[in-house]
Amino acid sequence: MQRVLTQRAVLLIAALMLLGSVFSAAFAQDKITLRLSTPATETDQRSVSLETVFGPAVADFANYEPHYNASLVAQGSELEAIASGDLEMSITSAQELATFFPEFSIFATGYVHQSAEHQVRVFNDPLMDPFKQKVEDELGVKLLAVMYLGRRHVNLRFPRSEKNIMTPEDLAGVNLRMPGTDAWQFLGKALGANPTPMAFTEVYTALQTGSVDGQDNPLPTVVDSKFYEVTKQISLTSHLVDLNYIAFSKEVWDSLSPEQQAIVQQAAEDAAEAGRQAQLQKEEELVAFLEEQGLEIYEPDLKAFREHVQAQYVGSEFAESWPEGVLDAINALGDN
Ligand code: KDO
């Protein structure tokens, strides 16, 4: 009798355990997967902050799955991938958005944003609402937060004794790699250079082999992607205080509960803030590091660059797409 009871108890426990594991498997399957694709490296501060802040914050209901170095989706195709349901997240640029909505070029224009703080004020201002709404309605993509990439500068293979970049005229004939959309290429031309479109993942080799004369990116990127190993100088043109937006699939967003949506939104803002602070600190520190690596780093005639770049946009097809009053509103949110 005793033995039968024990056998029954064992069977019962085994059955309960099986039920438990079936339940937890079902629960685990209920978690959504949030794949993010970016050309950035895994040590880029935007990647780090998303992985250390965003991922853990949503872990109760989502598996955050980042793919770096454009290994899942090619640079520039991420928005289409989200729109067609093949991707859940990306770190997109205003230049990429401008390929769908030309008015986004205003946020990709040289010398418009003044600082990381200015970017945040602009992103949170009601002036952004129609921009965000259009991306959501027409592309099925939500822009959750603005990430700081940094001040872009001109970084060349030549020593300063061969090419000294003080004004836009000094960039004449310089084959400058810029990312591959029209808004980027226009900025390269506006700077006075000969822009060459190329994917980010190809830049190191192109600098090494001399198929381009230089590239433009913020100092943290020059260090993170080791461009300093294959370049000799940086002219601190600050021609674009560059940003990326955390882009999120609207379809996935709509499948979340209001509580989960609030968690995702907060997690994106917290990750953006953490990344911003880390990137700002790196920008401060890295001049010394780069000089130790033998690079010449100097400030050009910023007024000459600003005036030249701004003059190129006046009357351009890009400026024509900007909704009336938005540039003034952006300027009014500036630092001084
Ligand atoms: C680049 O291709 O130079 C660029 O800096 C453009 C940015 O918009 C962004 O896509 C970035 O690359 C990648 O995230 C790699 O850092």
Identify each DSSP E strand in 136-287 by its residue range: 141-156, 175-178, 194-197, 214-217, 233-249
Euclidean distance between CA atoms 77 and 87, whole angstroms: 10
**In contact, 229 and 223? CB cutoff 8 Å:** no
Helix (H, G, I), strand (E, B) or coil at 324: coil
In the structure, what pLDDT confidence band is assigned to residue 15 with cuts at 50, 70 and 90? Answer: low
Distance of CA 161 to CAs 150, 230, 259, Å? 27, 17, 59
Euclidean distance between CA atoms 268 and 49, whole angstroms: 9
In the structure, what pLDDT confidence band is assigned to residue 10 with cuts at 50, 70 and 90? Answer: low
Residue 223 half-sphere exposure toward CB, CA atoms < 13 A: 21
Question: Measured from the CB, is residue 40 less than 6 Å from ligand 1?
Answer: yes
Euclidean distance between CA atoms 159 and 205, whole angstroms: 18
In the structure, what pLDDT confidence band is assigned to residue 11 with cuts at 50, 70 and 90? Answer: low
Euclidean distance between CA atoms 303 and 318, whole angstroms: 22
Which residues sit opposite 249 in a β-bridge? Answer: 141
Q: Please give the pLDDT value at position 83.
A: 98
Q: Please give the pLDDT value at position 336.
A: 79
The tens digit of pLDDT for each residue in 54-82 reads 999 999 999 999 999 999 999 999 999 99
Residue 2: pLDDT above 70?
Answer: no
Other C-beta atoms lying within 10 Å of the C-beta of residue 17: 10
The tens digit of pLDDT for each residue in 116-157 reads 999 999 999 999 999 999 999 999 999 999 999 999 999 999
Sole residue written with tokens 């000799």: 232
Question: DSSP letter at 52?
Answer: I
Euclidean distance between CA atoms 42 and 70, whole angstroms: 11
pTM: 0.91
In the structure, what pLDDT confidence band is assigned to residue 22 with cuts at 50, 70 and 90? Answer: very low
- The length of the chain, given as a count of residues: 336
Distance of CA 298 to CAs 159, 240, 291, Å? 12, 17, 10
Euclidean distance between CA atoms 203 and 215, whole angstroms: 8
Tokens of 188: 């390269």
Tokens of 67: 């793919």
Euclidean distance between CA atoms 180 and 46, whole angstroms: 21
Residue 24: pLDDT above 80?
Answer: no
Average pLDDT along the chain: 94
Average pLDDT of the residues in 163-172:
98
Question: Measured from the CB, is residue 246 less than 6 Å from ligand 1?
Answer: no
Question: Measured from the CB, is residue 119 less than 6 Å from ligand 1?
Answer: no
Question: Measured from the CB, is residue 92 less than 6 Å from ligand 1?
Answer: no
Using CA positions, which residue lies closest to atom 6 of ligand 1?
A: 179
Mutation pick for ligand 1 pocket among 96, 99, 200, 240 (CB with most ligand atoms within 8 Å):
200
Can you tell me which atom of ligand 1 is nearest the CA of 75?
Answer: 10
In the structure, what pLDDT confidence band is assigned to residue 17 with cuts at 50, 70 and 90? Answer: low
Task: Please calculate the CA angle 74-133-313 and round it to the nearest 5 degrees.
Answer: 70
Q: Please give the pLDDT value at position 326.
A: 98
State the distance from the centre of ligand 1 to the C-alpha of 41, rounded, in angstroms.
10
